Amino acid sequence: MDSTSINTTFVRPPFFFINGFYNIPHVKYYYIFLCFVFVVTVLGNSFVMFIICTERSFHTPKYVAIFNLAVADLCESTALIPNLIATFLFDSQYISFDACLANMFFVFFFSSVQSVTLTVLAYDRFVAICLPLRYHAIVTITTMVVMITVVWAFNFVIIISTVILITRLSFCKSIVVSSFFCDHGPMYRMACNDNFPNNVMAKVNTVLYLYIPLILIVLSYVFITCALFKIASWEGRLKALKTCSSHLIIVAIFYLPIMGIYMAANVSVSLHPNARIINTSLAYAIPPMMNPIIYVLNTEEIKECTKKLFKRKKVAATETNNQIKK
């Protein structure tokens, strides 16, 4: 086939149709639930970011990483949920080609930042427990800022490459995306020309942002567990383990649903699209909402700081009321 015939058969549609769910009654209530999730996510992550910025005692490497996780959580939810609500709650399922690629980039980019930041936090806990005397020399604010900058730059290159490769595809079969957003997998499979590079990038993304981070996190906790057994007292072990509890819960909430989706897809070829969409949407929406709640409730420093903040506000409000009465 010559280059002229290739050019004439190449199809770049002006828009795509986001299909979403298949005939689920009262599905709008699910979108209203996601709206509630988004509001809690914005309030929770904004509060964690505010606490870390304003309280000098939180200007440490660990909280730099937690601040970065809160930013990624907030941005990922903002890229995903408002678009999802606008698409389905207000029956606006058509999206332009460029807007679709932008949506894909921001959702995957901030999701990848979440994943790698959890690995960075695992490294922080590993050094703190396994090398406690050298912690402040190894993990400094400068080191943490450099690591997070590298994470953002590296993820940007990988995700933008993944998205740009979509532009080489010809969509002559269909413009209906079988997902709730411009999902990479359902989109590249719609192409009627060679999608091998896109398939490779999909596998690269899975390895880089799912398998490798999870393996590194598990390895770090294997070493942490070995270090805990060297601590003589149970009180010391529990105290050290408590510093990891928030991170462990967040890792479980983030990775287990995604791993479940991948395992179900590999084991069962007949996974219903609705089941996949609900699982995927919850896997993207729930962790950003839960992360700040877990850190506030499960981290003693943030809990104490929150109590002090509310006490200050209560005292200030009481003084204001007394002045008004006078």
For the segment 293-309, the average pLDDT, to the nearest whole number, is 80
Share of the chain above pLDDT 90, in %: 61
What confidence tier does 270 reach under pLDDT thresholds 50, 70, 90? low
Query: d(Cα 208, Cα 191) in Å, to the nearest integer?
Result: 24
Give me the amino acid identity at 86: A
Query: d(Cα 262, Cα 101) in Å, to the nearest integer?
Result: 23
Has this prediction a pTM greater than 0.85? yes
What confidence tier does 116 reach under pLDDT thresholds 50, 70, 90? very high
Residues 6+ away with beta carbon under 8 Å from 8:
none
pLDDT surpassing 90 at residue 108: yes
What architecture is domain 14-297?
Up-down Bundle (1.20)
Spell out the domain ranges in the chain.
14-297
pLDDT surpassing 70 at residue 318: no
The mean-pLDDT minimum among 60-74, 106-120, 214-228, 260-274 falls in 260-274
What confidence tier does 162 reach under pLDDT thresholds 50, 70, 90? very high
For the segment 148-154, the average pLDDT, to the nearest whole number, is 97
Query: d(Cα 177, Cα 218) in Å, to the nearest integer?
Result: 35
pLDDT surpassing 90 at residue 312: no
Residue 31, classified by CB atoms within 10 Å of its CB into exposed (0-12), middle (13-18) or buried (19+), is: buried
For the segment 160-188, the average pLDDT, to the nearest whole number, is 93
209-231 pLDDT, tens digit per residue, is 999 999 999 999 999 999 988 88
239-250 pLDDT, tens digit per residue, is 888 889 889 999
What confidence tier does 269 reach under pLDDT thresholds 50, 70, 90? low
191-208 pLDDT, tens digit per residue, is 999 999 999 999 999 999
Nearest to 31 by CA among 77, 86, 71: 86
Query: d(Cα 240, Cα 238) in Å, to the nearest integer?
Result: 5
- How much is the pLDDT for 6? 45
Query: d(Cα 257, Cα 244) in Å, to the nearest integer?
Result: 21
- How much is the pLDDT for 1? 41
